[in-house]
Structure 1
């Protein structure tokens, strides 16, 4: 049975804000002049509210079902609590890289947070061919800071165990387990693709080595509790703001409702995957300069992650057996894991439920080749990671595959 509570609407938001005087300095509930619903995601309602002074606030409300599908797919709205708690925890380690939270309403599952409408969703910016220099570096820093802080290294054993118990998120983890690690590798009802890509989807299903690799990655996803992940980190859950030269002056990670304690390589791999998907789009559109820019993003993110994690390492709680040599081995393994998780995410976004606008907004004759390139690049990466973790060279191999299979109406 679906949980019942009042949903936010454009008609009741002013009264709702007026009932929360603690945010009177953030927005004047008596002078609302602009209010729009911008929740283009798969799960929630999201409103941006502005007053006549130009001050704004964002209200995000979890629905008791998956918005993409409707009430036929019920889901606990408690995911709002998880996002609220994770954002607050992550803000301790990386306050400048997450939105400010004003309050959480546990009765109606509403998070009130900072208005970032002067930023752009990074996926949207990439789709438009924009370059925001430094954004990947900022997200690498975010991943390092929040994952170190919530790992056994930064938090210590007792706090780490208590964190794991608090952050159990089985419902949303199950979505990832199904949509990322299971359904794309079988003829599942929720899979979809262009008719011309049927051969590519069948190649994924028939790839036994790929299935084995995905099984290993799924096992790690389900059993590893290294740190408090964002859980759904991609270019659609990052906001960017740049100066006139294209330098990113503000980068924020948001939408952490899939958060849980999991393998450190997962968030990194999710970002890699979306960079490679963006690369397929740029290639399809003939944007060579933009493709060059995107090709550098995976290495930029990894380099920033590694640099920041190394910087934090000397502050680890227990130095007795957690040696510098252990760090080297962990970094090596996390990179292998990240490339594997990237491959899983790439396949999911092409074949499975909940795709990306990078590919879906291409004309069908371009989309065929872009989708094919993403799938074949994923098949390469999941194998190559065991012998080659040099990200620039791996990226160039993946880019070559994407270029070789691109299609257009002229052909």
Structure 2
């Protein structure tokens, strides 16, 4: 990896970003492009380049040498742009329809040119607005099954797998997850964002020693279990949707880790939306219909993942013991338990940690928001502590009904 300080790097602007697409010969007249900076994320610049005469458009995403959400006081490696590019390329090998097309990557300048998804909507916003996507569960189940199996020891030769681990070492961004997901929210840390109204509840929450022990176990799994190449940040803000299309974006947190982490992140963010709809959706009949859709999405996601993963183990697996009855099945059972635990950590983090979710934070009725945040914390803690007792997706759906 090239140290940041040795690179010929400069931050792009709306005036200079056209240079990133000149060599592609994608547009007829680069000078006539309309350019806007559209990024609303925490770490990067995102530029939209549009050519009115042809209707063509592209996205240029550039990593900054610091966390955009905090500023230059939080420096970050530019190598995450390469990680993201390589992860998208890996995913495109097995699920090309579920990731954006990548046209170019510049390692020195840490930018990637890719398909414009302006025709899609960010899943988080779409769900807050009560929109339903019947293919979502199947698509995310397929994405996780295919990307995770094909980068696991069930499929790869041991030498190839170990080379993959090396290629996707991502220590700085992993450290962000280790701190912001698995550590800081369980203690009174200055990265947390806690209002005065909810602080008494959170202070009591922090006294739960069993919760902290179980969170520690999950953090150790995240640190030590190199099961497959993860997206690393698979939440509803990293997914674009239309009625007929799902695109997974932003895998800059990619590294080789425990498979249940990706599934847990997705599950947690949908569960946070499930809870928040009590405030967003006023009609009880509509609320129940939408929550049924979310439940069906969870069910379809897990069942698609498990079915495809097990079938791939049978038909394409190279792990010697895959042919022994129960080996792959027991591994998938472990992934299920991990999924619940990691989902619990993500729920806690997104409720009181840094980078919270609009699902909860856009609720204007302050007492309702506090009540739902308390429910989110209680639910997250329950998933962390009871992940071994919730036996399968149907038991999970029954548990949801009791919230």
TM-score, normalised to structure 2, is: 0.93
Aligned equivalents of 1:340, 1:319: Cα separation in 2: 27
Q: Which runs of 5+ in 2 are unaligned?
A: none
Equivalent residue number for residue 226 of structure 1: 227
Aligned equivalents of 1:110, 1:29: Cα separation in 2: 21
**Contact 1:31/1:51 (8 A) holds in 2:** no
1:119-130 superposed matches below 5 A: 119-130=120-131
Structure 1 residues 38, 317: CA separation in 2 closer, same or farther (over 3 Å shift)?
Answer: same
Q: Please tell me whether residue 350 in structure 1 is matched to residue 354 in structure 2.
A: no
Q: Please tell me whether residue 393 in structure 1 is matched to residue 388 in structure 2.
A: no
**Contact 2:81/2:111 (8 A) holds in 1:** yes
Equivalent residue number for residue 5 of structure 1: 9
Aligned-partner SS, 2:237 = helix
**Contact 2:155/2:319 (8 A) holds in 1:** no
Aligned-partner SS, 1:150 = coil
1:103-122 superposed matches below 5 A: 103-122=104-123
Which deviates more, 253-262 or 49-58?
49-58
Aligned equivalents of 2:117, 2:394: Cα separation in 1: 32
Aligned-partner SS, 1:332 = helix
Aligned-partner SS, 1:296 = helix
Equivalent residue number for residue 218 of structure 2: 217
Which deviates more, 96-105 or 380-389?
380-389
1:256-295 superposed matches below 5 A: 256-285=251-280, 286=282, 287-295=287-295
1:23-38 superposed matches below 5 A: 23-25=24-26, 27-30=27-30, 32-38=32-38
Aligned equivalents of 1:28, 1:344: Cα separation in 2: 48
Give the CA deviation at 1:33.
4.4
Structure 1 residues 24, 138: CA separation in 2 closer, same or farther (over 3 Å shift)?
Answer: same
Aligned equivalents of 2:241, 2:355: Cα separation in 1: 23
Equivalent residue number for residue 145 of structure 2: 144
Cα displacement string for residues 289-333 of structure 1 (whole angstroms, at most 9, x for unaligned residues): 222222322222101101211221123443532334101100111
**Contact 1:93/1:146 (8 A) holds in 2:** yes
Equivalent residue number for residue 321 of structure 2: 321
Aligned equivalents of 2:321, 2:307: Cα separation in 1: 22
Aligned equivalents of 1:203, 1:351: Cα separation in 2: 13
Aligned equivalents of 1:186, 1:194: Cα separation in 2: 15
Q: Please tell me whether residue 100 in structure 1 is matched to residue 101 in structure 2.
A: yes
Aligned equivalents of 1:195, 1:105: Cα separation in 2: 45
**Contact 1:98/1:252 (8 A) holds in 2:** yes
1:78-227 superposed matches below 5 A: 78-227=79-228
**Contact 1:64/1:74 (8 A) holds in 2:** yes
Cα displacement string for residues 262-315 of structure 1 (whole angstroms, at most 9, x for unaligned residues): 001110000110011111111223433222222322222101101211221123
Cα displacement string for residues 332-381 of structure 1 (whole angstroms, at most 9, x for unaligned residues): 11000000000000000011111111111111232112211111111222
TM-score, normalised to structure 1, is: 0.91
Which deviates more, 152-161 or 170-179?
152-161
Equivalent residue number for residue 334 of structure 1: 335
Aligned residues: 391
Give the CA deviation at 1:41.
0.7
Equivalent residue number for residue 303 of structure 1: 303
- RMSD, aligned α-carbons: 1.6
Give the CA deviation at 1:2.
7.1
Which deviates more, 272-281 or 6-15?
6-15
Give the CA deviation at 1:399.
4.8
Give the CA deviation at 1:28.
3.3
Aligned equivalents of 2:402, 2:38: Cα separation in 1: 37
